[in-house]
Structures are given as C-alpha cells and as structure tokens.
Amino acid sequence: MFKVLVSDALGDAGIQIFRDQAGIDVEVKTGLAPQELKAIIGDYDAW
C-alpha cells in the first residue's frame, strides 16, 4: 500500500483520482501546524 498525505486544500475530484487507484491509501489532513506536519510526514510515501 502506498500512503499519500494531502495537507492542502484539494478539490474532491483531485482526491478521488488518488482513491480510484489500486494500492493507494489517501489521507486528507488540512490545517496542520508545521510541527504537526513534521511529526507525521514520515508515515507517508508521498505528500
């Protein structure tokens, strides 16, 4: 499984493109403070 983090505003259509691909797990977490992002970014394969 390839984990993708979306941390900026992205339309539903853009997020759905990722979700429609086999083997990609997308998590949307917007509004993170820089320290919060730094703490979790290592858990993802793409940002």
Query: How is residue 26 written in tokens?
Result: 């997308």
β-pair partners for 28? 6
Amino acid at position 4, single letter: V
**How confident is the model at residue 5, as a pLDDT?**
97
The predicted-structure confidence for 20-46, as pLDDT tens digits, reads as follows: 999 999 999 999 999 999 999 999 999
Place of tokens 């940002």: 47
**How confident is the model at residue 21, as a pLDDT?**
95
| Band of residue 11 on the pLDDT scale cut at 50, 70, 90 | very high
pTM of the model: 0.85
Fill in the DSSP letter of residue 31: S
**How confident is the model at residue 36, as a pLDDT?**
97
